[in-house]
């Protein structure tokens, strides 16, 4: 029997739109707090129903984006590369995430201070290769350093659309050979690189990308997304996956959705990896 997948989440008790650091955020479009809690609980219940063990980090007043635990770190096996946020508004999250991860007996590694790195939001494994998104949040050099720290090849991809500012908003590995993607979020070179490195790609259209369809939590064959992505779900079913939708609109107001609200503590698809390093 394999161990249950473990995912770190943070209750949205202190969540809201207190600043604007991406094009989705507007302080005049505030969050409906009760609805945000219900949506978050809905996501949590779905994840638990497909066998995930949820672990929690304490919410903190003044750190509304702490709910987006994907940005805490990149976890690979026992190694954990901590994030260093680009925006001052999120830098206060770093010690809280670091403490939560340290207490879980991971081997913590840090990057040189002058580099930005936003964790699993910008660094996603597809098979053995780490795909990294850079320019809008993480710096390209940070991705190279991360690859060296975990002895894995990194494919850096430049993100060109400010709405899709983290890699996990426009690219979602489903298995070692398959991923969901929104091509216009990448430059022509990045698109070629993805096409030549991922054998089977499921493309998402602009409407469904804007509904954060590519921001999916993948657990085995289950793919959990926000509502509003019927074409993606149809394509996923055709490819043998089991898509599940749940409303997450309150989190889209901050530029996030299902994947952003989660961090795999046992590594993105650790169960299937051959940890040779
Ligand atoms: N408001 C947050 C930010 O701009 C949203 C983070 C979404 N997280 C993600 N992994 N895409 O940083």
User: pLDDT digits over 195-215, tens only?
Assistant: 999 999 999 999 999 999 999
pLDDT on residue 271: 44
Contact 219, 272 (CB under 8 A): no
Find the 269 Cα to ligand 1 centroid distance in Å.
Answer: 21
Q: What is the mean pLDDT of the chain?
A: 95
Pairing of strands 79-82, 107-109: parallel
In this predicted structure, the answer to whether residue 38 has a pLDDT above a threshold of 70 is yes
Q: Of the residues 126, 166, 170, 233, which is catalytic? A: 166
Structural domain boundaries in the chain: 6-272
Q: Of the residues 10, 14, 80, 260, which is catalytic? A: 260
Average pLDDT over residues 178-193: 98
pLDDT on residue 3: 82
pLDDT on residue 2: 63
Average pLDDT over residues 90-104: 97
pLDDT on residue 120: 97
Q: Report the share of the chain in percent with pLDDT over 70.
A: 96
Residues framing ligand 1 (Cβ under 6 A): 21-22, 25, 65, 68, 70-71, 90, 121, 166, 168-169, 254-256, 260
In this predicted structure, the answer to whether residue 277 has a pLDDT above a threshold of 60 is no
Task: Kindly state the tokens that stand for 42.
Answer: 């809905």
What kind of fold does domain 6-272 have according to CATH?
A: 3.75.10
User: pLDDT digits over 205-241, tens only?
Assistant: 999 999 999 999 999 999 999 999 999 999 999 999 9
- Helical H runs in the chain? 33-49, 88-91, 94-102, 140-150, 188-197, 206-210, 230-238, 249-252
Find the 146 Cα to ligand 1 centroid distance in Å.
Answer: 20
Q: Which atom of ligand 1 is nearest to the CA of 119?
A: 10
In this predicted structure, the answer to whether residue 107 has a pLDDT above a threshold of 80 is yes
CB atoms within 10 A of CB 218: 23
Average pLDDT over residues 33-62: 98
Choose which residue among 89, 217, 256, 261 to substitute to test ligand 1 binding: the one with the highest number of ligand atoms within 8 A of its C-beta.
Answer: 256
Q: Is 212 left (phi over 0), alpha (psi -120 to 50) or beta?
A: left
In this predicted structure, the answer to whether residue 268 has a pLDDT above a threshold of 70 is no
C-alpha closest to that of 43 among 248, 263, 180: 248
In this predicted structure, the answer to whether residue 273 has a pLDDT above a threshold of 60 is no
Strands of 217-219's sheet in order across:
217-219, 222-225, 242-245
φ/ψ of 54, rounded to 5, equals -90, 135
Task: Kindly state the tokens that stand for 165.
Answer: 């500012």
* pLDDT bracket for residue 90 (50, 70, 90): very high
Contact 59, 69 (CB under 8 A): no
Q: Is 166 a catalytic residue?
A: yes
pLDDT on residue 24: 98
pLDDT on residue 98: 97
> Rounded distance, CA 28 to CA 212, Å?
21
Task: Kindly state the tokens that stand for 123.
Answer: 């660094």
> Rounded distance, CA 124 to CA 15, Å?
25
Partnered with residue 55 across adjacent β-strands are 8
Per-residue CA distances from 235 to 88, 156, 211, 255, 269 (Å) = 39, 27, 16, 24, 21
Q: Is 222 a catalytic residue?
A: no
In this predicted structure, the answer to whether residue 61 has a pLDDT above a threshold of 70 is yes
């Amino acid at each position: 029997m394999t161990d249950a997948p473990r995912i770190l989440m943070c209750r949205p008790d202190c969540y809201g739109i207190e600043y604007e650091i991406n094009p989705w955020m507007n302080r005049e479009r505030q969050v409906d707090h009760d609805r945000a809690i219900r949506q978050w609980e809905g996501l949590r219940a779905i994840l638990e129903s497909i066998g995930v063990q949820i672990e929690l980090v304490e919410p903190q007043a003044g750190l509304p984006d702490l709910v987006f635990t994907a940005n805490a770190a990149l976890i690979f096996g026992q190694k954990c590369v901590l994030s260093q946020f680009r925006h001052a508004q999120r830098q206060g999250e770093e010690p809280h995430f670091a403490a939560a991860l340290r207490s879980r007996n991971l081997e913590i590694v840090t990057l040189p201070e002058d580099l930005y790195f936003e964790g699993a939001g910008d660094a996603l494994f597809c098979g053995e290769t780490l795909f990294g998104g850079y320019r809008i949040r993480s710096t390209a050099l940070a991705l190279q350093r991360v690859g060296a720290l975990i002895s894995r090849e990194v494919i850096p991809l430049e993100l060109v659309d400010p709405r899709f500012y983290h890699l996990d908003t426009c690219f979602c590995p489903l298995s070692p050979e398959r991923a969901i993607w929104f091509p216009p979020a990448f430059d022509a070179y990045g698109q070629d690189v993805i096409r030549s490195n991922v054998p089977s790609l499921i493309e998402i259209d602009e409407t469904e990308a804007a509904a954060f369809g590519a921001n999916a939590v993948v657990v085995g064959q289950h793919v959990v997304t926000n509502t509003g992505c019927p074409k993606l779900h149809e394509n996923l079913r055709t490819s043998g996956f089991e898509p599940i939708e749940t409303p997450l609109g309150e989190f889209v107001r901050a530029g996030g959705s299902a994947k952003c609200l989660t961090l795999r503590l046992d590594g993105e698809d650790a169960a299937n990896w051959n940890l040779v390093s």
